[in-house]
Structure 1
Amino acid sequence: MTPLPIISIPEQLGNHLLEFLQGLPGPCCIHVPGADRSRCRFVVTLLHGNEPSGVDAIYRLLQQPLQPVCDMYLAIMNISAALTEPFFRYRQLPGKRDLNRCFKAPYDDAEGQLARSLMQLIQTKKPEALIDLHNTSGNGPAFGVAVHLDSRHDALVSLFTERLIITDLQLGALMELSEEAVPTVTVECGGAQEEEAHKIAFDGLQRYFTTSNLFDLSAAPWPIEVLHNPVRLELAADLTFSYAESLQARDDLSLRADIEQFNFGVVTPDTLLGWCTATAATKLHIRNASAADEALQAWFSTDNGELRPIRPLKLFMITARADIARSDCLLYAVRCRE
């Protein structure tokens, strides 16, 4: 296994973000010396090549005369996907595995080896915290994701956003490695094309660089809304679908073209999400934490050829990109409290 290279801050950062990435040696970890050399923190970003807010925030921060409170290690990962034209389009390159599904065995391909080299570096450096920065698959507000509910994970998320998802889904994501020694959270900063997402990443990362005690919740800028144990709405491989204003003749499922508006909103049985055939009802799957299918009818109705929630739900990570919906999922859902 080739170790993930650790490099110093490049002398030439480039005139823009693409030049900065083109000047890097490939996946690498930038070491930024801090005021306190006895401890360190980790940032990981660009696990998905179409999610630029985290690396944009790093690029901007490196241009400032800002010394962090302790050593920082900034891991920038799927550079090849990000730099394949059209830039920042590919989550992963065609034929390659999703890098943020590779943090569990097997590690027998290039993506698995890269994930393993990052894990080894994290274990060697023993950071006091790790932030994994992403963009949401569709447009919507920022939120954090963690596998543990405690004050430390709350505090890390509060540097960026007021929403936290506690998940027991096991997908092979970096965040699932969180343990007592290294509190880890994923921050979904919002849509990749949204300036607000870039601002959230930059402002939050600046707090992460400069806050001496990360886990002091008394300094949190907002209270945290916590949602528990989401499920995923996934497509069978042979289901045909589209985003449209009505059911398309060639498709089993047509989701509303404006479906992204429901990200982090509450939907009810009155909310029309799309149109479907009887076949679609057998090819939509609710995946829970045990990787087992739940009955679709426990979450959504397909009566009268319409896809609707059967009870109030909060939806998130809704995407209007068909390639991401097919390779990952249509959306996540949690039940609202009565």
Structure 2
Amino acid sequence: MLTIRYEMPAGLLNLEAHELYKKLEGPTLFHLAGRRKPPLFVSVLLHGNEPVGWEAIRHLLSQYQNRELPRALSLFVGNITAARYGLRRLDGQPDHNRIWTSGNTPEHAMATQVYEEMAKIGLFASIDIHNNTGLNPHYACVNKLATPFLHLAALFSRTVIYFVRPQGVQSLAFAELGPAVTLECGQPGCPQGVAHAHEYLTACLHLAEFPFQSVPKQDIELFHTVAVVRIPPGLRVGFHGDDLDLRLIDNLDQLNFQELPVNTLLGWQPSNRNILLTVTNEQDQEISGRYFYLNGTELRTCRPVMPSMLTRDIRIIRQDCLCYLMERMLLPNASFGVSP
């Protein structure tokens, strides 16, 4: 399922994400030479409807077509078949950012092959690049709180999120190989997201090492993802209509990265007295009653909380989740190795 190549096919950089199937048969790992080693690892298009990473890479590599890269680059181009249709994933496919752990699908085997290949070669750092569908700022995510991870994240944004769920994401796996970060670059089609990712990748390729001193506290706002909110399968959910099990407020995605007070309205449950959302913490325990309550038919928050990744795209809500819930976190003391 995986193809490994050591050069770019002619004309590949002229193609947009939805056209890559014309030159690539499927998921492809490129090893490109550069002045320094080990390589910077970059993954793009783990979700086919998030082209920002590929667009940034296109621009970057076009600038280096006739000169040496500052550092070797290992580039993984993921779900090309979904990208052809502008979808996160095709029906019947696993999410390509949930396969970086044990599993019995061909996609899990492919992800294992990529991981083992990079474990053998070694890497300087790992960068996974995404768009998102809701109204979110640009931010970086880490899965360990060691100093190199925080420097890698702060180089992209002062807003940094620490998370350990969901499992199976690329950055969580590659955090065992070196500093790893996930970039969230705003909505697809936004040129500022492409420019930001391009600028960041260029800076990372020129890095010789990570500072040993900790990130200054004033340079970072750190948040901890404490829970994931999902819609159970089979529920009728939407923004308009009288036949819904759960009707969400129209401006839902405008609540992202807002510190919501107690009693914030999220939607209505017209015919069910039990909270329909499922909310799981880092131990996979169901804790919906900790964050939400029903006031008649109104679904409201029962404690201050900050959501991220809220979207109006019902397909994405069903394929992934409604949102993540975050709390502010103190910046840890300096640690250059693996955090506990």
Q: Fold conserved (TM > 0.5)? A: yes
Distance 2:138 2:264 in 1: 23
| Aligned with residue 317 of structure 1, among 309, 313, 329 | 309
Q: TM-score, normalised by structure 2?
A: 0.88
4+ residue runs over 6 A deviation: 216-220
SS at match of 2:186: strand
Aligned to 1:259: 252
Distance 1:53 1:9, change over 3 A: same
Aligned to 1:101: 98
Aligned to 2:235: 239
Query: How big is the shift at 1:301?
Result: 2.2
Distance 2:197 2:233 in 1: 34
Distance 1:241 1:7 in 2: 46
The number of residues matched between the two structures is 325
Alignment of 1:12-31 (within 5 A): 12-18=11-17, 19=19, 22-31=22-31
Query: How big is the shift at 1:162?
Result: 1.6
Aligned to 2:337: none
Bigger shift: residues 68-77 or 24-33: 24-33
Aligned to 1:124: 120
The answer as to whether partners of 1:29 and 1:73 remain within 8 angstroms in 2 is: yes
Distance 1:14 1:168 in 2: 34
Distance 1:179 1:254 in 2: 38
Aligned to 2:242: 249
SS at match of 2:202: helix
Q: Identity of aligned pairs, percent?
A: 28
Aligned to 1:327: 319
Q: Deviations over 1:142-175 (max 9, x none)?
A: 2222221121111111232221111122421111
Aligned to 2:333: none
Q: Deviations over 1:210-231 (max 9, x none)?
A: 22224467899x8121112321
Amino acid at match of 1:27: P
Distance 1:291 1:105 in 2: 18
Distance 1:139 1:240 in 2: 23
Distance 1:124 1:317 in 2: 34
Name stretches of at least 5 consecutive residues in structure 1 with no aligned partner.
none
Distance 2:324 2:89 in 1: 21
The answer as to whether partners of 2:115 and 2:174 remain within 8 angstroms in 1 is: no
SS at match of 2:316: helix
SS at match of 1:229: strand
Distance 2:234 2:273 in 1: 10
Aligned to 1:61: 60
Is residue 2:222 matched to residue 1:229?
A: no
Aligned to 2:47: 48
SS at match of 1:191: coil
Distance 1:215 1:40 in 2: 18
Distance 1:20 1:323 in 2: 24
Query: How big is the shift at 1:9?
Result: 2.7
Aligned to 2:284: 291
Q: Considering only aligned residues, what root-mean-square deviation do their CA atoms show, in Å?
A: 2.3
Q: TM-score, normalised by structure 1?
A: 0.88
